[in-house]
Amino acid sequence: MPVGLLLAAGESRRFGADKRLQLLADGTPMVLAAARALRSVLSGVLVVVREPGVVADRLAAEGLELVICPAASAGMGHSIACGVAASRDADGWLIALGDMPWVSARSIGAVADALAEGASVARPVYAGVAGHPVGFSAAFRAALLGLQGDQGARGLLRQAAVTEVPCADPGVLRDVDRPRDLESI
């Protein structure tokens, strides 16, 4: 079973404030909804955050394991590398985003299943559009550890044979970049 890496170290520039603890319609903080969905499927989940603080405390109170990544401000690639370094022995990783709280457990499970069935890279696809989380097998350990900058794993996805996992879940595409994104659901 892969390890879930929830990337929650962004700076929320477009949102205008720290969005990670913004409440969804049901009163759940956004980042907790994303973490709970991962944890409902995967036995190991690490949440990558920039620094200790209120968000880290709230996640830790939920029993989640944190990875502090001070270099996260340099981009998503650094956050991914920090998470992989903290789980080097994993047989794969599902990389999820803390600002995508509506991804269903079924979609997470389908991506994990694709890795278990031999895919080297897998990602959900809804209505013909690729989404998140993205699963990487252990064969990508060194490449993930070497990521830097703000492109995340895009370069790896362009080079890899990606198994597309069809799903009926628009949550794999919906992220929260601006306050109005919370209102549209």
- DSSP type of residue 156: H
Look up the pTM and report it.
0.92
Q: What is the mean pLDDT of residues 166-183?
A: 84
> pLDDT tens-digit profile of 90-139?
999 999 999 999 999 999 999 999 999 999 999 999 999 999 999 999 99
For each of the domains in the chain, give its residue range(s) and CATH number, in order of start: 3-183 (3.90.550.10)
Distance CA 92, CA 68 (A): 20
pLDDT at 79 exceeding the cut of 90 = yes
Distance CA 66, CA 48 (A): 6
What SS3 state is found at 97?
A: strand
